[in-house]
A and B are shown apart, each in its own frame.
Chain A
Amino acid sequence: MFEENELVLEDLPKDYMEVNFGPHHPSTHGVFRFVAKVDGERLVEVEPVIGYLHRGIEKIAENRTYVQFKPLVDRLDYTGALNNELCYCLTVEKLMEIEVPPRAQAIRVICAELNRIAGHLIFFGAMGLEVGAFTPLLFGFLDREYILNILETVAGGRLTFNYFTIGGVRQDFPSDFKQKMDDFLKVFPVKLKRYEELLTGNEIFVNRLKNIGVLKKEDLFNWGASGPTLRGSGVKFDIRKVEPYSGYEKYDFEIPVGKNGDVYDRYIIRMEEMRQSARIIAQAADSLPGGEHTAKVPRVLKPPEGELYVRNEGTKGEIGFYLVSRGEKNPYRLKIRTPSFSHLNMLSFALNGNYIADAIVILGSFDTVMGSCDR
């Protein structure tokens, strides 16, 4: 009699509580939503829901000229806007076979790397916030402010720059740029070290991050992961090294690689990347070639027929533009490949079995931007 009762209990379906995270949740980085079934504090099943920030950017591209569309590229991954722009410009330039002058190339590298540091500083602050420390966020934004001030003197904008043009950059560096850059490069490593001591040196922080969200190489390959997320699992893949563009082959820098593939490795890699970016900037600023800041480009851009895929290393991973041209003023089709989209897809298996607190940290470690995921 007793045993029979037990069997019945076993057969009953276990009832999980369904918790809805987002779209308006403090740590979903914008308007991302995931529906989680939780067993106490553990997640059993996670279903990511995207599309709350869909603006139809790919469709808009078909109805705009190549130049008109370029400002919208900034709005994809707005924390690393110049890297998006760089990729778009490279795509169109490659199709039209435009030679970019060396000075413009170096300027592009400096600005893109500055923007990478700014993006990673946001990650540093957000990571602190994710584990409940508020101060790193403000420290991160404080240093980002320096960078934005420098970029403001160069490009005029602070978040969406619209600075690179097809064939070069919109305007040359101002005369006091070198001075400002040197000041920044002198201060930045010291400050970075101090900020890192606050967070990386904290035992609670390290315990929260280590051995959490471990991702296997096969999974990463299968789901199209790239950038620091991929390198965290020990894959030495950086498009700046593998397929150098815009003169990256001239600069000496290292690619930090993780070992365990956990959140801590992804965090450390981003911190190290900031130092490497500062190295690249210093080299590029020292060896800035003279000459024109833009190539001679026809007023109306009509690329020849053809299709191509160009990619570069964005702040979050591989940004790619697949462009189909029919020889008209507008692109026939423009497919944008963004790292955030690939990484968010992995959530359906990366979060299962983790605590709610860890799920937030893992989500944060991908450093997703919903603007670039939903497009």
Chain B
Amino acid sequence: MVWYVELGWALLKLVIAVMFIFITALILIWMLRKQMGHMQYRRGPRHHGPHGIFQTVFDAIKLLGKEDIIPAEADRWPFIWAPIIIFIPSLTIFAFLPFAEKIVATNIEISLFFVLAIMGLSILSLVMAGWSSNNKYALLGGLRSAAQMMSYEIPMIISVMGVVMMAGSMNFTQIVQAQQHMWYIVPQVVGFFIFFTASLAEINSTPFDMPEAESEIVSGFNIEYSGFRFAAFFLAEFVNLFIICALATLLFLGGWQPFTNPVYGTVIFLVKTYVLIFIAFWIRSTFPRFRIDQFMDFGWKVLLPLSLVNLFITGIIVLVVDKAGGA
């Protein structure tokens, strides 16, 4: 291919990905408010559009129109770059997520490995934001999120390894194809719960929302942010939620199975993802928050050993089945 055609394709993919990300985030925010409202005997947004569906659009427009404040004492460049950097891992991951059999922007042999590696980058932005704001609450929030991500990254990745062993591949498409007869949630049910819990912690969602604990450190790392920079953090939170739910769908819920048709496949993939998002929001509206030390204990003393045991047993079973199949 000529280089400008290739560049054109890449740009088109990027534009589509960005559009999809923002629309998804807006839908998710609306869904959270609506769902939480009904769970609390309220109605949620009502006024803009049917059932308030345009509420978040108006909110986003409002945030874009706000004055852009950078605190005088803040470290200017990290402060400006943090909300931009938080989108880089999200955007990159979207390029590797297959929505259906052939609907994937970039298909490489180790896409799962790559996605997991990139996901760890989002920590950088939160620490940058917390550190550069020159605010004590923000600093505490940034440090909390750093500790949180580091300790929950490990059980999350180990829990995924069980799936990788069973599928014998690190490519999303092949992992999904391997689930044709049985979704991996059945043999890997422990792995699924570890993955889901650890990823909720990874994206700072309730009950692991210590970095932005409203009642303790007010708003955590994003306390000094306003206007569109705040909007970036806010949207990124929901984009990340979508990503982890999509990952869980691909790895454990059979992705686009049982359809191979790209349209049906995409639809069923999105439906499964939204079911998981519903569960995440349900947890969000009913659970209190962990304390930082209890949370660390839970990560290191419960999830990590559990995921190792899960990995060990999976390994033995895979080995035995392989031997039996080969003989």
Contact = CB atoms under 8 A, between A and B. Distances in A.
A185 interface: no
Interface stretch (B207-215, B247-255, B257-265, B304-312): B207-215
Given A132-B206, A133-B287, A357 B214 contact: no
A311 B287 CA distance: 40
B293 interface: yes
A124 to B, nearest CB: 13
Interface in A152-208: 198-199, 202, 204-205, 207-208
Interface in A200-257: 202, 204-205, 207-208
A201 B81 CA distance: 43
A17 B136 contact: yes
A131 B136 contact: no
B79 interface: no
A360 interface: yes
Contacts of B40: 134-135, 138-139
Interface string A12-28: 00000101100001110
Contacts of A374: none
A41 B290 contact: no
A19 B136 contact: yes
Give the residue among B206, B216, B217, B218 with the most A Cβ atoms within 10 A. Answer: B216
A288 interface: no
A139 B36 CA distance: 12
A355 interface: yes
Nearest to B285: A135
Q: How large is the interface on A (under 10, 10 to 19, 20 to 34, 35 or more residues)?
A: 20 to 34
A139 B39 CA distance: 10
A41 B140 contact: yes
A1 to B, nearest CB: 34
Contacts of A142: 41
A358 interface: yes
A26 B291 contact: no
Given A19-B136, A207-B294, A357-B292, A129 B215 contact: yes
Contact of A133 (B137, B210, B289): B289
A139 B285 CA distance: 12
Given A198-B286, A202-B287, A357-B292, A132 B140 contact: no
Interface string A353-375: 00111101000000000000000
Contacts of B217: 356
A25 B214 CA distance: 9
Contacts of B216: 27, 356-357, 360
A204 B36 CA distance: 20
A121 to B, nearest CB: 14
Contacts of B291: 207-208, 355, 357-358
B187 interface: no
8 contacts: A27-B214, A27-B215, A131-B289, A132-B214, A132-B288, A135-B39, A142-B41, A355-B292
Interface of A: 17, 19-20, 25-27, 41, 128-135, 138-139, 142, 198-199, 202, 204-205, 207-208, 355-358, 360
